[in-house]
């Protein structure tokens, strides 16, 4: 029995990490050429780019795995993911349209930190150490704001044509949501299956430790980038 759950844990880890290994996180150079040369509204391409960014954006995915890890009811999943969506939509639209330029390495480091935070939260660290449970919904919303800034900086690395700007950013944002739903569906299927196994709770702590490792790696990776790139 125990062996099965370990196998599932490994499988889940592979499913989560595979896109990270296979693709680079930034909008690829070929996509970048399109974004720059594009003028006017182009709904479908920006939808696709947004969805692609989300499905292959392992930092956003790690955070969402942490968020839905202990959510058993679909109602809760929908509620938390909606809060995350509201948060990152606000800053994605506001950041690009308002011309707010944040440093992408710093933002990505904060996104990495959000993974560490959520893993610590899932370990019940706040209750144990500070005798206090920060509002989990508020945390998802606030970190959602940072994730949105991260998405915005990815688009701002290119000069976007002014014509059709709003349409294109909204398309990108809708694409992000589509990608998020696609990725979450996969994660939820994996988690739901795993939860039916007796090993889930035994390995939940270990999994969140692994999640925390992932978060720390992201923080170190981005901070190094900030100093060397």
Partner 1 sequence: MSEETYTVTIHPPSKKRIAKAAFVALISAAALLVTAVLPAEYGIDPLGTGKLLRLTDLAKADAQTPEKAATSAPDSKSEEPPATIMPVLEPSPNGSAPIVKGAFIAQSKRYKIDSREMKLAPGEGMEIKYNMKKGSGLIYSWTASDKLLFEFHGEPNVKPAGKEGTDYYETYELDDQVGKDQGHGTFVAPTSGIHGWFWENKTGKEVNIKLVSAGFYDWIFQNVKNKETALKTMDPDIIPSHPKVPDEVLH
Note whether 144 and 86 are within 8 A (CB): yes
Closest to partner 1 by CB, 23 vs 174, is 23
3-state secondary structure of 80: helix
- Draw the binding track, 12-51, toward partner 1 (x: CB under 8 A; -: no contact): ------------x---xxx--x--xx-x------------
Between the CA of residue 210 and those of 9, 13, 120, what are the distances in Å? 11, 9, 11
Instruction: Retrieve residue 113's tokens.
Output: 């930190």
Stretch that binds partner 1, among 41-49, 72-80, 81-89, 91-99 (CB under 8 A): 72-80
Instruction: Retrieve residue 126's tokens.
Output: 């706040």
Closest to partner 1 by CB, 90 vs 223, is 223
Instruction: Retrieve residue 224's tokens.
Output: 């190094």
Residue 27: DSSP 8-state: P
The set of residues, in sequence order, having a beta carbon less than 8 Å from that of 31 and lying 6+ positions away, is: 49, 52
- Draw the binding track, 117-136, toward partner 1 (x: CB under 8 A; -: no contact): --xxxxxxx-xxx---x--x
- Draw the binding track, 81-110, toward partner 1 (x: CB under 8 A; -: no contact): ------------------------------
Instruction: Retrieve residue 177's tokens.
Output: 């949501």
| Residues engaged in binding partner 1 (CB under 8 A) | 24, 28-30, 33, 36-37, 39, 70-72, 76, 80, 116, 119-125, 127-129, 133, 136, 158-159, 161, 201, 204-205, 208-210, 212-217, 219-221, 224-225, 228-229
């Amino acid at each position: 029995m125990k062996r099965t759950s370990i196998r599932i844990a490994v499988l889940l880890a592979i499913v989560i990490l595979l896109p990270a290994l296979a693709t680079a996180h930034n909008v690829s150079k070929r996509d970048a050429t399109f974004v720059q040369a594009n003028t006017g509204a182009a709904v479908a391409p920006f939808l696709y780019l947004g969805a692609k960014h989300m499905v292959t954006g392992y930092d956003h995915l790690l955070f969402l795995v942490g968020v839905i890890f202990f959510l058993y009811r679909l109602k809760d999943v929908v509620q938390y993911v909606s809060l995350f969506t509201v948060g990152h939509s606000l800053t994605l639209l506001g950041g690009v349209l308002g011309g707010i330029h944040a440093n992408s390495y710093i933002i990505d480091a904060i996104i990495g930190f959000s993974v560490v935070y959520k893993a610590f939260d899932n370990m019940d660290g706040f209750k144990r150490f500070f005798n206090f449970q920060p509002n989990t919904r508020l945390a998802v919303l606030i970190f959602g704001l940072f994730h949105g800034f991260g998405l915005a900086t990815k688009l701002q690395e290119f000069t976007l044509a002014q014509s059709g700007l709003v349409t294109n950013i909204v398309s990108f944002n809708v694409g992000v949501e589509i990608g998020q739903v696609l990725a979450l569906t996969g994660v939820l299927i994996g988690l739901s299956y795993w939860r039916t196994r007796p090993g889930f709770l035994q390995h939940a702590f270990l999994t969140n430790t692994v999640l925390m490792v992932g978060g720390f790696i992201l923080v170190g990776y981005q901070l190094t980038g900030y100093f060397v790139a």
